[in-house]
Chain A
Amino acid sequence: MASKSKYDAIVVGGGHNGLVNGAYLAKAGLKTLILERRHLVGGAAITEELYPGFSFTTFSYALSLLRPEIIHELELTKHGFMPLLMPSSFAPTEDGDYLLLGQDKDENHHQIARHSKHDADAYDAYGHMMEQVVHAIRPLMDSIPPDITSKDPEERARLAAIGSYLADLPPRVLHNLVRLLTGSAADILEDYFESDIMQGWLASSGIIGTKVGPRSQGSGLVLLYHSFGEHDSAYGAWAFHKGGNGGFTQVLARAAEAFGAEIRLDSTVDHVLTKEGRATGVTLEDGTEFSAKTVVSAVDPRRTFMQLVDPRELPSELVEDISRFKFQGTSAKVNFALDANPTFPGLEGRRDQYQGFINIGPSLDYLERAFDDAKYGWYSSRPYIDGCIQSNVDPDMAPPGKAVMSNFIQYAPYHLRESDWDTEKENLGDVVQARLEEVFPGFGDLVLHREVVTPLDIERVTGLTEGNIFAGEFLAPQMFFFRPAPGWNQYRTPIEGYYQCGSGTHPGGCVMGAPGRFASQQILGDLGKK
C-alpha cells in the first residue's frame, strides 16, 4: 500500500466555512488540505453558468452576515473581494402599489408615509431598537460561548461573566433582547407598525430559512439573527459579492491557497480515520488516504457525527442529541435567465427598484398563510419570494440588456405529505412563476431559462441535511450553548483531534464565516499555536 500523504490538518468540505477555517490554519503555518466533494469549491455558495452568458447563484445569493475581521485577517481584498452594495429594497403590495426604500433616510420617510405616517416615524424607532440589541449582544456572538455543561472553573467564570454583562445592559435593551429571542416577529412588529406592507416586509427576515411563521414563537430570534449583518458599519445591511457568492468563495479559495492551503476537488471523504479515540486522517470514497492529527468537519452536524465517524465511537447522549437536532429544510430557489428586466406597472423604464432585494411578502397574513401550507406538509400556494435581479448590481452576471434573477422561496418543506419533490419540482416552479406574473405582468414572456431548486436538490447537491440552508434550524434550543449539542458547542468533538467548523456550530448559518474562524482559534489553541 502506498504511503499516505501527510498533512497537519485536513478540512472536510470546501464550503465557505471550510475555506475560512483552512485559510486560518494555513496562515498559522499548518500544512492544510481542504477536501471538496464537488468539482468546485463553495458548498452552497456557488455561481454557475447554467445558461450561456448568465451566472446563476443556484443556492445562497447574498453576502449576508460576513464578519469584517475575516476580510482583514485573511487579506481578502488582495484576492478580489468586492462587496457591491444593494442600495434598495422593493416590496410590492397586494393592491399593485409598492414600498421602495433606499439609502436616504428622509426619502425613506416619505416612501413609508405613503402607506402610513405613523409607520414612517416608527421605522426609525424600530431601527434604533434593533441596532441597540444587536450592538449589545454582538460581543456574545463574536466569541466562543462557554460550555454550559462544564464544571471547569474557567468555564463557570465565563458563564458568570455573561450573566454580569447582561445584567449591566440597559434594562430596556435586555428586555427587548429577551422579547426577540423568545417571541414572534409579529409581536414585535405589531408594536411598532400598523401598515401591512411594513409588517410584511420586516417580518420576512423573521422567517427566512426557518420553519416558522411570523406569528410563531421563535421568529423573533430569526429576525434578530438576520440583523447581524454589519456591512460597512450599517447593521443589517447586506451586500452582493461580485460574481455572486461563488465569486466570494473563489476569493476565499485564493486566499486559502495564498496562505499555503491545498484544495483538492472531486474528493469525497468516506470517513474519518481514528485510532484509540483520536483522529488520524481521512479516507476518500476511492480509498485514497490522507493522514493528519487534526481533522475538521465543515459539513453539517448530522454528517459530522453520524456519517463521517462511527456513532458507536461517540457518547450515546451526543448521538441522541444529534438525532433529534432539527433540520426540516423549508426553502427553495427558483432562478431565471430573463430577456430583460421585468416591468412593474407604474415604474416602467426605471430600474433603481431592482438594485436590491424584491420582497414579495406584503403582509403578516400573507406570510402566515404561506406558512400554513407548510405546516400541513405542502408548499405555499402563494409563496414568500425574496428576489433579486443581480445583473442590475453586477452587470457581469448577464449579457448586456438581459437579466438574471434569483428567487428565494418559502415555504417548501422537505417532507411533502402526499408526493415527493421529484414529482413536484416543476409544479413549484410554475407556482412561483405565476406569482411573479401577478407582480410583473408579462414576466413569463421574458423567461429564457428556469432553474428550480427544491430542498431535496439542496440536500443532494450540497449535502445539507434535509436541505436546511443553515445546516440546522435556528431554534433557541439549537443555538449558542446548544449548537449543535450541549457540551459540544466549542468546535471540539469527543474524538480527540476531530473538530467541527460548519454552520451547524455557533453562531450559525448565513455567509458569515464566524464558525470557521472560531473553530480555527480553538484548534490552534489546542495545538499550542495561539
Chain B
Amino acid sequence: MIKETPFHGRTSAANQTGLWSHWAGYLATDRYQMSDKFEYFAIRNSAAVIDTSPLYKYRIYGVDAEKYLAGVLTRDIRKCRPGQAHYTAWSDDDGWVIEDGVILRLSSDEFLLTAAEPNLAYLQGLISGGQVNIEDVSDEYGALALQGPYSKEILKQLSPEVEDIGYFHLAPAKIGNAAVTISRTGYTGDLGYEVWVGADDALGLWDRLFEVAAPHGVIPAGQTALLITRIEAGLILIDVDFHSARYAWNDDQKATAPELNMGWMLRDLKDDDRAFIGRKAIEREIKGKSSRWKTVGVMVDWEHWARTHNERGLITPKDHTPEHGGMMLYDEKVERIGYVPSFVYSPVMQRHIGIARLRPEHAELGARVGLEVTIDHRYEIVDSYVTKLPFYNPPRKTA
C-alpha cells in the first residue's frame, strides 16, 4: 500500500491536478496547480512550501557515532559541529559512490542522516563495535521545506532563531506547540530551510506556516518545480545522474566522488587521517588523475537551438519540464565524449541547461561540445558550451 506523508491531509486538499508520483513509497504531489511553472517562480521569486517527508531518515546516535560516521562517510564528519549540517556521500571500498545525502548533527553524539533509498541494513552492517545505534525514523518525522527569497523573513515570524541560522546550520525551535528542528538546507539552490517535525505535529505546522506565509503569496510547490530548481542548482539526483554502487551491474553504471563533482569534499584529505571506506581508491584516483568523467554543466547555444528547430518548421521548444534521459555529447569529430542525464529549459536563465558527464579532456570551461537532440525522429547536433555548476547561485543562498 502506498503511504501518505504526515502532511497528506493538507497536500491532498491543495492538489488541484490529481497528479501524484511515488517517492520512496509515499505519495508526492507532481504539481498542485495547472501551471507548475507558477510554482517554480514562487521558489525563485517569493517562496514555496515543498513536502520532502518521503526521504529516508536515519537517527544515528551513541558516544561512538562520530567515529563510526567518520569511517563511513566520504566527507569528514568531525568537521561538522553540533548545530551544523553536511551534504555528504558514502562510497564502497573501490571508491564508487553508493549514495549522497544531508546529515544533520543534532548534538555531539546524535545525527540525522537522510537518504533517497533504503540503507539501514547496509549502515548497520558497518558497525564494528563501540556504542553506535542506527534507527530508521522515516515514519516518525515529516519534513517541510520552505524555499525562496522570502523564506527567512517568513520563518522568522514563526521562530526568531531563524535569524541566526547560517547556511548548512540548524537549530531546535518551537512553532506553535510543535518542537521542530530547522535546518538551512534544501534542494533548490536558493535561500531556504527545512523544518523537521514529529509526524503528529505535522498538520499543525503546515497550518501555522501558511497562516503566516499565505499573505506573502507563498504556495505549495510540487515535484516538477523542485526538479527544475535542482538542475539549475547543479544538484545531482540518484538513478538519474548516478546509480548506487550497491546495485550497479558494471563499472559503467558506477561513479566515484571526484567524478560526481564531489572533489571539494576531499580537499583536505592530506590533513585528514581518517580511514574511511573507499579512501585508498579515491586517493589512487586523484593521484593518478584516473577519473573517467567530470560532472559539469552544459549550456546550449540559444541561436543554434532555435535555428535547428526553425529549419524543420518548428517553433523553438523551451520546455521547463526536466528531461531525465541521456542525450549524447560529441566532439568535432562526432566522437562520443559524454552525455547529459539531466536537461531542462531554465525559466530564470532563459537557456537550455544540463548536468553533464564528460570525459575530463573535453570538460574545460567554455569548451564547445555537440549535444544530440532528436527532432522528428532525426538526430541533430546543437552547439553547447561547458559551464560550471551551479548554473544558478544567488548570493542570498549563503548570505
Q: Is B133 interfacial (CB 8 A cutoff)? A: no
Would you call B216 and A85 a contact (CB within 8 A)?
no
A72 to B33: give the CA distance in the assembly, Å: 30
Residues in B with CB closer than 8 Å to A235 are 315
Query: Could you tell me if A395 and B41 are in contact, using CB atoms closer than 8 angstroms?
Result: no
Contact between A87 and B348, CB atoms less than 8 A apart: no
- Contact indicator A233/B46 (Cβ below 8 Å): no
A223 to chain B, nearest CB (A): 19
Among listed B124-132, B266-274, B316-324, interface-contacting one: B316-324
Assess whether B318 is in contact with A233, with CB atoms less than 8 Å apart.
Answer: yes
Asked whether, in the complex, the Cβ of B302 is within 8 Å of the Cβ of A72, the reply is yes
Which residues of B have CB within 8 Å of A76?
350
Q: Contact between B347 and A392 (Cβ–Cβ < 8 Å)? A: no
Q: Is the interface of A mostly helix, strand, loop or mixed?
A: mixed
B315 A131 Cβ-Cβ under 8 A: yes
B374 on the A face (CB < 8 A): no
- CB contacts between A and B, total, < 8 Å: 84
Binds B, one of A100-108, A195-203, A279-287, A318-326: A100-108
Q: When the two chains form their complex, are residues A107 and B348 in contact, meaning their CB atoms are under 8 A apart?
A: no
* B33, A135: Cβ atoms closer than 8 Å: no
**Known contacts A77-B349, A82-B44, A391-B217; is-contact A87 B38 (Cβ 8 Å):** yes
In this complex, the member of A71, A72, A102, A233 whose beta carbon has the largest number of chain B beta carbons within 10 angstroms is A233
Decide if A104 touches B17 in the complex (CB within 8 Å).
Answer: yes
B321 CB to closest chain A CB (Å) equals 12
Q: A81 at the A/B interface (Cβ < 8 Å)?
A: yes
For residue B215, CB closer than 8 A to chain A, the reply is yes
- The reply on A84 being an interface residue by CB < 8 A is yes
| Residue B34 CB within 8 A of the other chain | yes
Q: In the complex, which residue of chain B has the Cβ closest to the Cβ of A240?
A: B41
Tell me the bound Cα distance from A72 to B300 in angstroms.
12
Q: Is B330 an interface residue (CB 8 A)?
A: no
Flag whether B177 is at the interface (Cβ < 8 A).
Answer: no
- B residues 298-322 near A (Cβ < 8 Å) are 302-303, 306, 313, 315-320
Minimal beta-carbon separation of B32 from chain A (angstroms): 10
**Nearest-CB distance from A65 to chain B (Å)?**
15
A342 CB to closest chain B CB (Å) equals: 16
Which residue, of B217, B306, B313, has the highest number of chain A Cβ atoms within 10 A?
A: B217
Mask: chain B, 29-44; 1 = CB below 8 Å from A; 0 = not: 0000111011001001
**A72-B302, A87-B37, A102-B34 given; A395·B350 CB < 8 A:** no
Number of chain B residues whose Cβ lies closer than 8 Å to a Cβ of chain A: 31
Across the interface, A85 reaches (CB within 8 A) one of B17, B37, B317, namely B37
Per-position binary interface string of chain A over residues 82-105, scored 1 when its CB falls under 8 Å from any chain B CB and 0 otherwise:
111101100000000000001110
Tell which of A82, A104, A232, A400 touches B345, judged by Cβ atoms closer than 8 Å: A232
Contacting pair A232 B35 (CB below 8 A): no
The listed residue (A68, A84, A103, A400) touching B350 by CB distance below 8 A is: A68
- Complex Cα spacing A400 to B154, Å: 11
A462-498 interface (Cβ within 8 A of B): none
- Whether A233 pairs with B319 at a CB distance below 8 angstroms is yes
A396 to B319, CA, bound (A): 27
- Inter-subunit contact A233/B217 (CB<8 Å): no
Q: Which of B44, B215, B319 has the most CB of A within 10 A?
A: B215
Q: Mark B320-344, 1 if CB is under 8 A from A, else 0.
A: 1000000000000000000000000
Instruction: Flag A388-415 by CB within 8 Å of B: 1 or 0 each.
Output: 0001101110001100000000000000
Interchain CB contact under 8 A, B46 and A232? no
- The interface residues of chain A lying within 8 Å CB-to-CB of B315 are 131, 135, 230, 233, 235
In the complex, which of the residues A71, A85, A102 has the most CB atoms of chain B within 10 Å of its own CB atom? A85
Q: How far is the CA of A131 from the CA of B313 in the complex (A)?
A: 12
Which residues of B are found within 8 Å of A401, using beta-carbon distances? 215
Q: Which A-chain residue is minimally distant from B153 (CB atoms)? A: A400
Asked if A355 CB lies within 8 Å of chain B CBs, one says yes
In whole angstroms, how far apart are the Cα atoms of A82 and B302 in the complex? 17
Assembly CA distance A392 to B303 (angstroms) = 33
Instruction: Answer whether residue A8 sits at the interface, using C-beta atoms and an 8 A cutoff.
Output: no
Taking CB atoms, residues of chain A closer than 8 Å to B217 are: 391-392, 394-395
The answer to whether A84 touches B45 (Cβ under 8 A) is yes
Whether a CB of chain A sits under 8 angstroms from the CB of B150 is yes
A84-B45, A391-B217 given; A355·B38 CB < 8 A? yes
Give Cα distance in the complex from A81 to B35, angstroms: 21
CA distance A77 to B306 in the complex (A): 18
Nearest-Cβ distance from residue A328 to partner chain B, whole angstroms: 35
The reply to whether A400 and B317 contact each other, CB–CB distance below 8 Å, is no
Contact of B215 with A85 in the complex, beta carbons under 8 Å: no
Besides A72-B302, A77-B350, A81-B350, 4 other A-B contacts (C-beta < 8 A): A71-B350, A85-B35, A104-B35, A400-B216
Q: Closest 6 interchain pairs by CB?
A: A395-B217, A87-B35, A401-B215, A233-B318, A400-B215, A103-B35
A-B contacts, 8 of them at CB < 8 A, read: A77-B350, A87-B38, A103-B34, A235-B315, A352-B16, A355-B35, A394-B46, A395-B150
